[in-house]
Amino acid sequence: MKKFALGIVGILLLAACGDSHDYAPKPRGYFRIEFPKKEYQDYVSDYPFTFKYPKYAVIQKDTQTRVPAKLASMTHLLNMKFPQFDGTLHLSYETITSKKVFNELVEDAHRFAFKNTVKATDIEQRNIAKPADKVYCVYYDIGGNSASSVQFYLTDSTKNYLRAALYFNTAPRLDSIQPVLNFIKKDIDVMIGSFKWKK
């Protein structure tokens, strides 16, 4: 009986080996992503700005992040959540009280964006200006497997400053999040294009 069982096992092993030249590894696959229809609504609040954002996103006050007491009266935190994609555009609004404060905010935005250089393959900086609306934007497009792929700030350079950073609640793997990132970047373009300071 033992010889018979060993013979069967031997035959199965030989049959499983097959021709080693026929093996070809398959590329890694990802789930197909269903994207919602692009529809936008106005963000209206007590804050001194308005913009359009997608109907599949939710904007909430950030009650988790702690703000130092000395900045609490000037700093307001919001999260634009994309629940379907497990991503968040973190927004931080600050009142500009002096030229020194403005310069510090601009330097902080630059420093935060370039913190990603460890994992980033490149960082492209673009300046966007809408002088008629007094909206000036510096946009950082961060390539590679960085924690944040998009960061930017909007300002009128005298009174108001809004910084934003996009994060996904997943390990940063550009090949898997690229379709979602491209989709949300279009929403960010609409946000920046429609952004206005209240008079």
Q: Which of the pair, 42 or 121, is modelled with greater confidence?
A: 42
- Asked, for residue 189, whether it belongs to a domain, the answer is yes
Residue 185 has pLDDT above 70, yes or no: yes
Q: What percent of the chain has pLDDT over 70?
A: 74
Residue 69 has pLDDT above 70, yes or no: no
- Asked, for residue 15, whether it belongs to a domain, the answer is no
- Asked, for residue 16, whether it belongs to a domain, the answer is no
- Which residues sit opposite 140 in a β-bridge? 125, 151
CATH of residue 80's domain is: 3.40.1000
Q: Pull the structure tokens for residue 163.
A: 């910084």
- Asked, for residue 1, whether it belongs to a domain, the answer is no
- Asked, for residue 176, whether it belongs to a domain, the answer is yes
- Asked, for residue 85, whether it belongs to a domain, the answer is yes
Range of the structural domain that residue 187 is part of: 49-65+72-197
Under the banding of pLDDT at 50, 70 and 90, the label for residue 161 is very high
pLDDT at 123: 84
pTM of the model: 0.78
pLDDT at 143: 83
pLDDT at 169: 86
Which whole-number Å values give the CA distances from 102 to 11, 70, 99, 106, 118, in the listed order? 77, 16, 5, 6, 27
Name, in order, each residue with C-beta under 8 angstroms of 145's C-beta and a sequence gap of 6 or more: 119, 172, 173, 174
Q: What is the pLDDT averaged over residues 117-134?
A: 84
- Asked, for residue 111, whether it belongs to a domain, the answer is yes
Q: What is the pLDDT averaged over residues 60-68?
A: 78
Tell me how many domains the chain contains. 1
- Asked, for residue 33, whether it belongs to a domain, the answer is no
Residue 113 has pLDDT above 60, yes or no: yes
Q: What is the pLDDT averaged over residues 139-160?
A: 90
